[in-house]
Structures are given as C-alpha cells and as structure tokens.
Structure 1
Amino acid sequence: MCGRCVALILAALVVLGTGAIADGILFPVERPHSTIVVPDELFTVKYHRVNVDINDQVAVTKVDQIFHNDTSREREGMYVFPVPEGSAITKFSMFAGANENVGKILDKNEARGIYESIVRQRRDPALLEYIDRNTFRASVFPIPANGDKRIRLDYSEIVKKSGNTCRYVYSLSTERFSARPLEDCKVTIHLHAKHPITNIYSPTHTIDIERISDLEANITWSAKDVKPDTDLVLYYTLSNDDIGIDLIGHKVAGKDGYYLLLASPRVEIDRSKVQPKKVIFVFDRTGSMAGNKIDQTKEAINFCLGTLRSDDLFNVITFNETPKLVFSEMRKATKENVKAAISAVDGVDASGGTDIDLAMKKAMKQFAGTGTERNYIVFLTDGQPTVGTVDNEVILKDVKASDTRNVKLFAFGVGYDVNTHLLDKLAEQSKGDTDYVRPNENIEIKVSSFFGKVSEPLLSDVKVKVNGVEVSDVFPSDDLPDIFKGSQLIILGRYKSSGKVKIELSGISNDTRRTFVLNSSLPAEEDSNDFIAQLWASRKIGYLLDQIRLHSSTELIDEVVRLSKEYGIPTEYTSFLADDRANTVALDASVARAKVLVDEAVKVETGSYGVAQSTNARNSRFQAQAPQATASAGYGGPSGAAAPPQVVLGKMAANSRAGGVYFDSQNRQVVAANVQNIAMRTFYQRGDYWEDADLKKDQKFVQIKQFSDAHFQLLAKYPKLAQYSTLGNVRLVLENNQGIEIGPQGKDKLTDAEAKAILKGVSS
C-alpha cells in the first residue's frame, strides 16, 4: 500500500491472561515514531456493535467499531485491545471509505511494556485494569480530520465450563475511554447447544433473552448515549432436566463462602406440565382513579385476561365503597367468559371512596372450596382505606383470617397517595410481592409485564435443600416463589467448609411433589466470582430494611450499617459513611447516626418517600446484577416513564464506576459515586483520595508516587493493586496491616528489599 493508504501492523502481545476480553481502545500517537502516546483528547467511539455466535463452548466474536477524530488535523492512533487467553484472532481489518483493508498479524512479546508506556504518558489509572491481560496492538493511520475510522476484529475462543455451567465474558469497560458517550452500543449473542439450555444469567447487565427453542437463544444488551464501564458476563447452563439447576461459589481461604443458586425450566416443556391457575383481579374504581389512571388500568386488566389459558379459573372485582364482582364465582377462562369480563371492565366508571378491607375479603372468599396451589390475587389501588375498616392492622388481620387457601397477593400501588406499609405487609404475609407505579409511569406496561411472567405456573410450594455443607443467611429462604415457564429462581447464601453438595429442588406439579437434583461442589477457595458476595449482601440489606421499615425492628440497623460499610453498598440511611470524618467514627456511633435517620423515615408510610423506601428495599431484595452495574444503568424497567431527577454523590472515580443507586426522600435517583467495592474491599472517596474502609485512625503509610517505577514494581508483585489503583489516588491497608498511599507524592523507586518488606506475608 502507498503511504497515504492504511498502514497496519498488528502485534500479538502476550502477558498473564485473566480470561476476560475487551473491545479496542484507540489512543492518539505522534508520528513518525508511532509508539508515543500523546496526552491528547481521546477519539470518540460513534458506535460499537458486537455479534457473538456460541455453539456449545465454541465462541466466535465479531467486533465492529467506528472511531471519530474530533480535531481539524489528520491523526494517527494506536489500537490496543485485550483478548481472552487461548483465543485466536481470525480477522483484523480497517476501512478506508467503503474499502476494507486487511492487515497482517505479527507476533511480539511486549504487552506489559506497551501498557506501562501508555499509562505513564496518559497518567490514567483506569488503564491499569488491562495491564495483565492478553493484548493485541495495531497502528492506525490515517484518521482523517473530523472524520471516521471503522475497525473490525474477529476472534474465536473456547468458553470456560465448570460442571454444566459455561461462562462467557465480553469487556465493554474499555468504552469508558471514549471522548464522548457512544451514540449506539449493542451486544448480540446467538447461543446454540446440543443439550437443552436452561439458565441464562448475567450478573453485570440487564439483558433481553429470546428463547427460540430448548437448543437456541438470542441474548441482547443495548444502550444509547452511554459510556459502558463494566464487563458483560454471561452464564448459561446445559441440562436435560425439566428444571435446570446451577451452583456457583465464591470463597476466600479461611472465611465463610458465598453461593449463588440458579434454577430455570426448559423452553420446550410438555404443555401438560403447565399448571392451571386461579386468579382474581381486584382493582380500584374510586374517584381518584378517574381519567388516565382508570383507562390504563382497564388496558392492563384486559391484557391479563387475554393471556389466560382456557383451563385457568378467574374473576374480576372492582371496588370503591362496595366491591362489584363480574361473576358470582370464579369461571373457566373460555373465550366467552373472557369476552364478557373484558366488556364489564370496559364499562367501569371511577367514583366513590376506598374500602380495601371489604374488597380483599370478597376476593379471598372466591377461593373457598378450591385447592391450595397456584392461587393469586392481582390488586391495584391508588389510595388509602377511607371507608369501612380503615385501621391497617385490622385490615391485615381480616385478610389473613379470610385466606384459607394459601393465596399469593401481588399488589400494585398507583401514584404516591397509597399506604406503602399496608400494601407491603399484605403482600409479605401472603408470600406475594408489591410494586409501585409512579406518576407518569404506564400502568398497563408495568402490570402486563408482570403478568406475562407468571402466566404459566410449572411448580408451586417450591422448596430447596442443600445437603453436604452447612449453609446460612439464605435469601430468599422459606418463602420461595413459584416457578413459571420462562422464569428464573435466584437464591444467594453463605456456606462453611467446602466439598461435594447435593441440591434438591422440589415443588408441586399435577398434585404431586416432584424433585430435581443437582450433584455439584462448593470450592474451598475461589476468588473470581466476588460479585456473588455483593449480591448476597445487597439482598440481605433489602430484607433487613423491610424488617426495620414494616416491623419497627430498629435493632437490625447496626447490621445494615456493618454490611453497608463492609460491602460498599449505599442506602438512604447509610450514605453518610463516605463523609470525610466517617473513617474516624466507631461503628456504634455510625449506628446511632443511622438510627436517627431511620426513626424519621419509618414514620413515612405514604407520599413519594414512602414509595421510595419500599422501592429501595425491593430493589435490594431482588438484586440480580451487581450494585455497580445497577448504578451505571439506574433502576427502572418497562414503565414508559422519563428518568427521575438524578443526584451524584461525590466525584466519579478514574474507572468511571459507582457503588450503587437508590431513591432519596425527594424521589431523586441518587448515584453513589463516592463508594466502591473492589475485590472484596470497600473504598470511600475522601478529599482527593479513595480510602480503604478498614484504615485505622492512626494508620501509617508508605507513600508511592503514582505511575512511577515503584508503583509498577508493586503492580508486578501484587496484581490486585492494579484493581485498586484504577480508582485514582488511593490509600489502603494490606493483609499484613501495611498501609500504602499511591498519589502524586512518594517514592519513585524501590529496592527489591523494600518491595519485599512492604508485601511481606501478602498473598498475590
């Protein structure tokens, strides 16, 4: 090619691999040397599209990116991208206009030197995350002024498998180095297998799953105007059982471990195994529901009615001062009965007061004489009881006394005038669930989305036994949800010791208890799945918050504070832990401060803060992705509403991640950028430094100058330091109680003896 054409050199740079993969980073460099990274503005990633084909364990990943040069001059770039250990690059090409130019692959062993050079010159600690990964490099020239450069990369790998579980990783995190948010970012995974695919789960991203058959599925994650900062991790299980079970463990040597249990049914399941259900729809037709709320509620109920199976039993009750039944008793969901119910719903007008007690007792009475399995009430209201029995505790007792058939109640509170304590307790005592539809959210979308997930029950009265190791602190524990077609059961807990494990999951199907068994093991030491610990802590915090909020169990606040501090999970009651002075405050003083906040908060049962507290607890109890991933995406879902006002606590760290998100008393979405948990350590942002939560008041430090030879000496001997260093300036205490401060001041070099002394007794 001529000098003005694309000059492409691709070097395979091998270092110690971590098994993670990444798309490319394009750094500006100076010509003619083409290796010196200039401290200039990074290129903008216009779009990033990834297509992955996985056949059993063989994955072929195709990356397509367009980079934009925002300057008025022609530039050169160094394209650097980490890839999985053992992968094979099958294609690397760039585009000059519409023409695709394929480059040559050359082998070299200099990756660590390349990264050190880039990090030193750009002085960006976030790049340290990739310092010990298998890496490739390409020189990219020319990148036209105010123009684009399209780059494609294809590679293949063998996906790691443990037992029946496969783990695929694609690192989106390098896109945080884009000069501006990406206009379009999408990852599509086409999954094919010879054995049925049961569990499909990502602990890092909220993914869309299209199950085409038992042997095929499409998984998609997409976003616009974002800077992704977290690697996409995907687990999938291959099992011939009707219910596939999977077990994943995390354990630090010498400490109790954490486990994640997943259970999902097959797609192509015998229709005879789908169990008929009995469901009563109860919705509020009081005056406050007039207008858009009653219209959306009708659409939601009619959608649910349209999805009923012909052997389901159902009825509809509308209520104000007086409950009104569509049928005198439950009827089968024939076309004629469903049509009659839809017609009745369409004719409802909104007027009058709210008698929740009478409506719920009428609904419970409908189940008299039926079996005790798969009985559900879907309940919608926008207000508090104003007519008849209005005392919450009396209503709860009345409903519980009238429930003789193990009915599960799923309540939807519409707007901010609802009594969240009443709705949450009604759902809690019936082993159901509550959700809230904020003003301007779409009732129809939220309710229909829920009902679509529970329309086809497979197992009820679900129980799980773990044999072989001692387990504790399991969430959820006794009140397990029914298993529906397309659903996934997620259980988190702690375990002692290690070894072989026998999991028995059982439930009622066709009036018979069926049992599914998984023979597996839990590791004595495994530190690669630390997301499990954070998920467990988040779920426990959610459970504790509900106990505190609904049952005045304020003695549990100390445990919330301890968990929040240890695992770096922010809540509306513990956000003060990141304050500058908090590291000098004893745990009991922090608990006292949290109790003051809680005492005021638990008095709020209605309004936006009542809904916010319930939502925060629920989001924690059902946490399925690591809190950092939630912070990037924000809470939400298919509600059709604009995003709530957002507040960011602190300054975003160099790695562009945050510790979590919650709603505050003003109904603002709070992103806690001032706390992060990295490799089972919590760090708080205090001034210009990120400080280890375990620092002592009189902690002494060895000062190390950031990006110096001394810094890289320690990185080479203690790889975990690279993860901590991605925060920026950092102060931490090692396992040997040695304090290290990495920042603008400190030692440039260390002798071997000094480095050994600092890291004495520290495991790498």
Structure 2
Amino acid sequence: MKKNLICFIVVLLSVTTYARIIPNIPNTTVRPSVALLPIKAKSHTVTTKIKNNIAVTTLETEYYNPNNRILEGTYLFALPKGASVGSFSLWINGKEMPAELLNAKKAEDLYVSIVRKMIDPALLEFVGRETFKMRIFPFPARSSRKIKLTYQQILTADNNLIRYEYPLTAVGNGHNDNITNFSCNIEIEAEHAIKSVFSPTHEIKVKKEGKTASVSFSGNHVDTDRDLVLYMSNSDKRVDLSFIPFAKQGKKGHFLMMLSPKTKIDASEINAKDIVYILDTSGSMVGDKMDQAKKALQYCLHQLSAKDSFNIISFSTEANTYKDKLLEASKSNVKEALDYVDEEIFARGGTNLEEALSYAIDMAPKNSVRPYMIILLTDGKPTIGVTNAEQIIKKVQKASLKNLRLFSFGIGDQLNAKLLDRLAEENNGTREYVSAKEDIEIKISNFVDKVSSPVLSDIKIKFPSSDNLRISEIYPRKFPDLFRGASITLLGRYEGKGDQVIKVSGMIGGESKEFVYEVSFPEENIENSHVPRLWAVRKVGFLLDQIRLNGENAELKKEVVRLAKKFGIVTPYTSYLVVEDDIQTVRLTPTTPRRERGSLFGRRDNTSAERAMKSESGKDAIQASQDIKEMKNAKVAYKKKSEKGNGKQQIRRVDFKTFYMKNGVWCDSESLNIDKKEKKKIIYLSNEYFSLLKKYPKIGKFLSLGKEIDLLWAETIFSIRLK
C-alpha cells in the first residue's frame, strides 16, 4: 500500500509548469513502477500591498493532477527573510487542512533527507530558509486543487531605498523552468511622494502618482531563473539618489546609482533650451514619410515652452532655414512656424546633410549655458555637397559646442547608420531608428515627451577618492541630462569600503546647484546579485560601440569576450564561446532561426553579426546599432527572451554566477581559468558534501544545479563528483 502513496513537492515561490514528484517510500530509493505525469501549475497570481514599509503578499495557485490515481503530497513554501504567515487556505471536502511552519534547521534536515534518499539536488535551494509545510491528501485524479497563502514582512530601508523581493527562482527542475500563466500586481503607498520604482531584474510596468504607485509584471512562460527584485525611493529631496552596492569579501565591488527628480516640478525649475529641428526633405521622403515627418515636427513645436528658442532647417539639394536666427517660442511664433511646416515644406531633390548641420552649428548662441539641442531626421545618405562621413563629423567636432545635444532619427535602412550614431554619441545625444512599418509621428513624439523638460543639465558627479576607496569604470561614460518623469542609472565599480559622500551638481532653472548624498560602500554584500551583470552588459555595450564606430581593436575585442564568458552575455564575438581550447564549444545563443528573432546578436550564425559591426548601412547595420544601444542603456540585468533549442541546456545563470556545461559538469565561469590542482574534490551526497553545505549554506542554490559541479567559493574550487 505504501508503495502506491506518492509525495509531491510544490515550491510556491518558484512555481514551475509542473511540480516535483517524489515517491513517499521511507528508507528506500525504489521509485514507482509506473511513471507519473507531472503536477501542473495551471495559474499563479501574486498580489502585494506595501504601505509604510510593511508588505502583505497573497499567492494563489491552481494545481492540476493529470494522473489516473490519487496522490498524497507535501506542500512546501520557502518564506522570504523575516516574513510571517498570516493565513493559508486549502479546503478538501469542506475541511480546512492544518499546516506547520518549519524553522530553518528543521527544514534543512527535511531537504537533506530527501536529497539523500532521492538523489535530487534541486531541493538544496531551500537550505537555510524558514519554510511553510502542509500535507495534502487526497489530491484526486484528474482534478485541481487551489492554494491561497498570505504572508507579511517589514521592509527595511538602506541608503533611503526600500527593497522588496519575490523569490521566483526555479527549484523543481534545476533552474530550467517557467510559469505558464503568471501575474504579479504590487500596490505601493508611501509617506512621501514616490520618486522612483524600478526593477533591475525584470521588465515591469510602473504607474506613479504622488504617494502611490502600481507595479505589474505578467506573462506566459515566465522564466524562473531569477528572483523578482523591486526598489522604491520616496525621498523628499529635489533630486534623489538611490545607491545599490554588491561586493564579495576581498574583491572589487559593483554599484548601481540612480538619480530621480521630485514628482512635481515647477515651471521655474525646468531649464530653458534652444532647439533646432533639421528635417530631410529629399526626394526619397516623398509621400507618407513626408506627411508623418511634418506631423511629428508640428508636435515638437507644440511641446515648446515659452522660455525656449527654436528654428527649423530643411535640406534637400540645398539647406534652407525657416528664419535667420533662433526665435522665442511665443504663441504667435509657434503658430507661424506650424503654418510654415504645413504649407512650405515639400520633398524633392538630393540630400545635403553637411550644409544643414553647418547652418545649425552657426546658429548656436555663443557662451550660452542653456542646452542647445539639434533633432535631426533623415532617411538617406548624404548625396550633395560634402558626402564624406568623416568630414561631416569633423565639421561638428571643430565647432566645440559644449552644450550641444544632437539627437538623430533615421528612417528606413538606406542611410549611413554609423554616421548618425557618431553624430549622436559624440555630441551628448542619442540615436533612434524608425522602420518602414513604424509610425514616424508616434516614435518622435514619444521621444520629445521625454526630453522636452530638462530638470538638471550639465551634470557633474564627484565621487569620493581616498586611500580607503577608489571608484572606476562608470557607465555611461558621459552623464546625460535629467528630465522630468525620467531617471538616470549609472553602473560602476569600487575598491575599498566605508561611508562616503557623493556630490552631484548641475544647472536648474538657469542656476548652478549642488546636492550632497551620504552612502555606504560595504566590504561585503551579495544580496544585490543582479548589479554585477547589469554593469557588465553596460560595459560590453560601450566596448561594442567603440569597435563598431571606430574600427576593430584586439584589446577591446578580448575584453568583450572575457566579460561575455564570465557573465554569459551574447555578443557578435561570442555566439559560439570556446570554454577550453579545442575541447568543447558552448553556445551562448539559442538555436532559433534568424527570421524568428529581432536581435541580431541572438542569431544562430554569428557571421552576420560580425559583418553588421563593419557595415555602414542596411538592415543589419541598423539592427546592430539598436542592439548595442540597448546594451549601453540597459536597466534590466537579464533581457526578456524566449529561448528555444539547447541554449538552456548549456548555460545557467544562478544568482551572481554563470555556469557552463562542459563534459557533463556544470563549471563556474570564475573557475575556468584557474589551475585544476587547486580543486578540492568532494563526493556527491557524502558526509563531507553535507558538511560543506552546513558550513556555507548560501551555496545551496548553486549546488542545486546538479550532481557534478565545479564551484568557486571561499577562494577554493569545490569539485563535486558522483565518484
């Protein structure tokens, strides 16, 4: 009879598309004679309410038993640190089932016993956690059971930043699971106006209004290879600084820093700007493109503030200025400009870009502290006048306009992407591309909404530098302006420790202002494990842009490969990544065919990606530009994607570590270049194995990968083997 009783482990905070099935046979390793179908999580909903730093989270999950037999099971829930259970609901035949809260030690003993009996490393993820346990019997054949659990926790503030974590880490199938139907909604209510709400781990949707905010994250087949981490700041400062460090003992640390303006900005606090719109009116723009471009330009004019100044330059065979000088953005001047765009701008002739840029540069006010913005919209390569890209770039460089911000918009793919990218990147701007299928008006209007209200411009950041602390490798290298409703995210490295002061200065409403912040650089803090990878993605994006725009460099390429190898980042040079010379090649990209993927760097054949790095025009050149820009500006450590094929069977990212499958062994990327003699061999499930786990409980999440692992921890490579 006992052999027919089945126990299943359901880890709710890492809900998978199927539950883990384990025979409930005491003191034996005999498995059921008939294979069982997996328990399926049909849906999973998370609802959280955070008020005054207290979070109440409710989980609802519906499980389905597809087998033709009744199952007996144990429901296990790994509580977040410091959380307490409020209520649990599971009613069977009108009766509420009792539950038990296991402390960390008792839970550890339970998991270790299961691992020993079933040779199942996946459960080692639970070691060191308090756990909620419940026996579920019966679980009828071909029927569902719904589980509802509520817990609460007090969220602590660190550096004026509140952190909320929802553990999604997959346990049931070795970090290779996803949730079929997942929904998470978080409502936040704070004492002060909320400055920023962001997640460096997932692409969330945020709505803020005063002291409240709503966060949502949902989807089908959501990966559970990382926890959902949310940060909130409700400082009452005009410009808030959020600081998130990560450091391992004795190693250089990483940090994430975010600048956010206050929610309500007075008109007097918005920096006035001078702005010139340069519009390509060559023959290739005729038709719908010209109509959309004119509507976009009219939208830009509507967004001008009365304090701003503006002008319009159109260019085809020759360039034409609307007026000889910048105009005040009064209502009457804007209205006349709108009529001019509607009645006087047509598509015809060639593409004289250099002349248009020359007019815009000559029009810039001398010795002005106001941002001087150029918004350039074009769909083709220069064909009239100066057509050499290098000469055009040098023309702008020679002007040396320190307050210049040049934003380039490319339409279609018959243009010089490298030229537009360099114009933007070298002049404190950014680049955007609009495909033939996209709406030009919508794309440009969305951009203008973001940059129409600069709150803090000409930003300078003074980081501490002393014998105790050294800051390095900050990305982005140039600090952009801070706009209303937006934020600036910086990633960097540090060496040392201690409480320090960071000074941020810039222009507000035409006046120079300085803000002082006290932050702490810890010697060790491995809680924010997403920070190192996000920093690496930013740096790789910067290096790739340097290679693409200035030519391939052996040292830069080597550094790209090193970072890609350590953090598992896909690049044009690591679509295939050699782990050990001539022994084994590990793919960093999924096997999805080219036509199914938007990202150039995610294709199966990396030849096209390397070729695109050298191309000036065409679809691949533009896609490479967009991919690199996305990496340079990344705010999420892991890009959302659907991996098909064998990609996930060869590479795993667990917390702050990346592992590669090599000859049947999961190899820690940090251990690959260390002499094999330094490895300490430990037999899987031996007394020494569990002693190691007891000594370093935090490595449970890494050991849960499998039965054979090379793991670098405490300056030692632990080589876990079956024999």
Per the normalisation by structure 2, the TM-score is 0.83
**In 2: Cα distance, 1:569 partner to 1:181 partner:** 21
1:691 aligns with 2:690: no
**TM-aligned CA deviation for residue 530 of structure 1:** 3.1
Q: In the alignment, which of 402, 419, 428 is matched to residue 422 of structure 1? A: 419
Who is 1:167 aligned against? Answer: 163
Unpaired runs of 5+ in structure 1?
1-8, 14-20, 586-594, 635-645, 654-673, 747-764
Contact 1:650 1:685 survives alignment (8 Å): no
Who is 1:81 aligned against? Answer: 77
**TM-aligned CA deviation for residue 192 of structure 1:** 1.8
Q: Which moved more, 1:226-235 or 1:75-84?
A: 75-84
Q: Which moved more, 1:372-381 or 1:258-267?
A: 372-381
User: What amino acid is aligned across from residue 100 of structure 2 in structure 1?
Assistant: L
Who is 2:597 aligned against? Answer: none
1:106 aligns with 2:100: yes
Q: In the alignment, which of 311, 332, 341 is matched to residue 307 of structure 2? A: 311
Contact 2:412 2:434 survives alignment (8 Å): yes
**TM-aligned CA deviation for residue 273 of structure 1:** 0.9
Who is 1:588 aligned against? Answer: none
Who is 2:60 aligned against? Answer: 64
Who is 2:154 aligned against? Answer: 158
Who is 1:559 aligned against? Answer: 559
Q: In the alignment, which of 429, 454, 473 is matched to residue 457 of structure 1? A: 454
User: What amino acid is aligned across from residue 160 of structure 2 in structure 1?
Assistant: N
- CA deviations on 1:518-550 (whole Å, 9 max, x unpaired) are 112211222222322222222222222222222
The 5 Å alignment of 1:87-98 reads 87-94=83-90
**In 2: Cα distance, 1:138 partner to 1:599 partner:** 54
1:719 aligns with 2:697: yes
Who is 2:593 aligned against? Answer: none
1:605 aligns with 2:583: no
Q: In the alignment, which of 410, 415, 419 is matched to residue 413 of structure 1? A: 410
Change (3 A) 1:425 1:711: same
**In 1: Cα distance, 2:536 partner to 2:257 partner:** 15
The 5 Å alignment of 1:498-647 reads 498-552=497-551, 554=553, 555-579=555-579, 581=581, 602-626=613-637, 629-630=638-639, 633-634=640-641
Change (3 A) 1:342 1:522: same
- CA deviations on 1:483-524 (whole Å, 9 max, x unpaired) are 111121222222222112111111011221101111122112
Change (3 A) 1:396 1:124: farther
User: What amino acid is aligned across from residue 667 of structure 2 in structure 1?
Assistant: E
Q: Which moved more, 1:535-544 or 1:679-688?
A: 679-688
**In 2: Cα distance, 1:679 partner to 1:322 partner:** 57
Contact 1:182 1:226 survives alignment (8 Å): yes
Contact 1:183 1:226 survives alignment (8 Å): yes
**In 2: Cα distance, 1:557 partner to 1:261 partner:** 27
User: What amino acid is aligned across from residue 196 of structure 2 in structure 1?
Assistant: N
The residue matched to 1:517 in structure 2 has which SS?
strand
The 5 Å alignment of 1:309-458 reads 309-326=305-322, 329-334=325-330, 337-338=333-334, 341-342=337-338, 344-345=340-341, 349-368=346-365, 371-402=368-399, 404=401, 406-458=403-455
**TM-aligned CA deviation for residue 183 of structure 1:** 5.0
Unpaired runs of 5+ in structure 2?
1-6, 586-605
Contact 1:703 1:741 survives alignment (8 Å): yes
Who is 1:5 aligned against? Answer: none
User: What amino acid is aligned across from residue 618 of structure 2 in structure 1?
Assistant: G
User: What amino acid is aligned across from residue 492 of structure 1 in structure 2?
Assistant: L
**TM-aligned CA deviation for residue 703 of structure 1:** 6.0
Contact 2:475 2:535 survives alignment (8 Å): no
**In 1: Cα distance, 2:155 partner to 2:393 partner:** 51
1:50 aligns with 2:85: no
**In 1: Cα distance, 2:283 partner to 2:70 partner:** 66
The residue matched to 2:358 in structure 1 has which SS?
helix
Change (3 A) 1:145 1:647: closer
User: What amino acid is aligned across from residue 220 of structure 2 in structure 1?
Assistant: K
Change (3 A) 1:32 1:241: closer
User: What amino acid is aligned across from residue 728 of structure 1 in structure 2?
Assistant: G
**In 2: Cα distance, 1:291 partner to 1:391 partner:** 28
- CA deviations on 1:140-184 (whole Å, 9 max, x unpaired) are 455555544332221110012223121110123349869996454
The residue matched to 1:617 in structure 2 has which SS?
helix
**TM-aligned CA deviation for residue 572 of structure 1:** 1.3
**TM-aligned CA deviation for residue 708 of structure 1:** 6.7
Contact 2:369 2:510 survives alignment (8 Å): no
Q: In the alignment, which of 127, 130, 140 is matched to residue 131 of structure 1? A: 127
**TM-aligned CA deviation for residue 621 of structure 1:** 1.8
Contact 1:45 1:175 survives alignment (8 Å): no
- CA deviations on 1:638-695 (whole Å, 9 max, x unpaired) are xxxxxxxx87584314xxxxxxxxxxxxxxxxxxxx4445455443233433223333
User: What amino acid is aligned across from residue 317 of structure 2 in structure 1?
Assistant: E
Q: Which moved more, 1:30-39 or 1:63-72?
A: 30-39
**In 1: Cα distance, 2:504 partner to 2:715 partner:** 44
User: What amino acid is aligned across from residue 622 of structure 2 in structure 1?
Assistant: V
**In 2: Cα distance, 1:600 partner to 1:338 partner:** 45
Change (3 A) 1:475 1:737: closer
Who is 2:710 aligned against? Answer: 732
Q: Which moved more, 1:186-195 or 1:557-566?
A: 557-566
1:246 aligns with 2:223: no
**RMSD, aligned α-carbons:** 3.9
The residue matched to 1:515 in structure 2 has which SS?
strand
Change (3 A) 1:48 1:418: farther
Who is 2:205 aligned against? Answer: 208
Change (3 A) 1:104 1:298: farther
- CA deviations on 1:354-397 (whole Å, 9 max, x unpaired) are 22212222333443368332221222222221222110111112
Contact 2:259 2:487 survives alignment (8 Å): yes
